[in-house]
Amino acid sequence: MQSPTDSFKSKECIFCKIIAGTLPAEKVFENENVFAFRDISPQAPVHVLIVPKQHVVDILDVSGRDMEIFQHLFKAAQQIAAKLGIAGSGFRTVFNSGDHACQTMYHLHLHLLGGTQMGGSLVG
Ligand code: AMP
Ligand code: ZN
């Protein structure tokens, strides 16, 4: 049975379309649970978005047995950091949720940023 979320997913969600291959993206990693691609407007030399294949909106939309999503995302972050050569130099992982965090894409995504010395402020 199709839920309202499924309907949104197929019609509107850009990240669902990237996962489905109907919109282009520079893929860096994929497995059964996650898809990862370069951010279209990178804020660091390495800026990858790691998204669950399941459409969930943000952190608050993940509950119960879906909590495994976070394991999948962070395991992928470990693998991608190694693959892209930033595991040793360091990297930042960020989830933006809601207005105050300036979330713009409403399919959960973990930003993986690295390849440069970043500042210490997380809110600037
Ligand atoms: P956020 O502000 O956390 O919602 O981040 C959304 C991110 O998605 C931004 O860094 C955008 O540059 C990025 N983005 C938006 N559309 C695309 C796209 N089609 N391909 C790759 N990255 C995108
Ligand atoms: Zn989606």
The predicted model scores a pTM of 0.94
Q: What is residue 61's predicted lDDT score, i.e. its pLDDT?
A: 95
Q: What is the pLDDT of residues 106-115, one digit of tens each?
A: 999 999 999 9
CATH assignment of 4-114, among 3.90.850.10, 1.10.150.170, 3.30.428.10, 1.10.510.10: 3.30.428.10
Q: What is the pLDDT of residues 37-52, one digit of tens each?
A: 999 999 999 999 999 9
Average pLDDT over residues 23-42: 98
Domain boundaries, the chain: 4-114
Euclidean distance between CA atoms 25 and 68, whole angstroms: 25
- Please provide residue 69's backbone torsions phi and psi, each rounded to the nearest 5 degrees: -55, -40
Contact 121 CB / ligand 1 (< 6 Å): no
Average pLDDT over residues 24-48: 98
- CA 80 to chain CA mean position, Å: 12
Q: What is residue 65's predicted lDDT score, i.e. its pLDDT?
A: 84
Find out whether 16 and 55 touch, Cβ atoms under 8 Å. Answer: yes
Average pLDDT over residues 1-12: 58
User: Where residue 1 falls among pLDDT bands split at 50, 70, 90?
Assistant: very low
Q: What is the pLDDT of residues 58-100, one digit of tens each?
A: 999 999 989 999 999 999 999 999 999 999 999 999 999 999 9
Ligand closest to 105 (CA) is 1
> Would the pLDDT of 19 be above 60?
yes
CB atoms within 10 A of CB 102: 8
Token pair, residue 34, equals 């996650």
Q: What is residue 124's predicted lDDT score, i.e. its pLDDT?
A: 79
Distances (CA, A) of 112 to 24, 26, 45, 79: 19, 14, 11, 11
Nearest CA to ligand 1 atom 15: 40
Distance from the CA of 22 to the center of ligand 1, in angstroms? Answer: 16
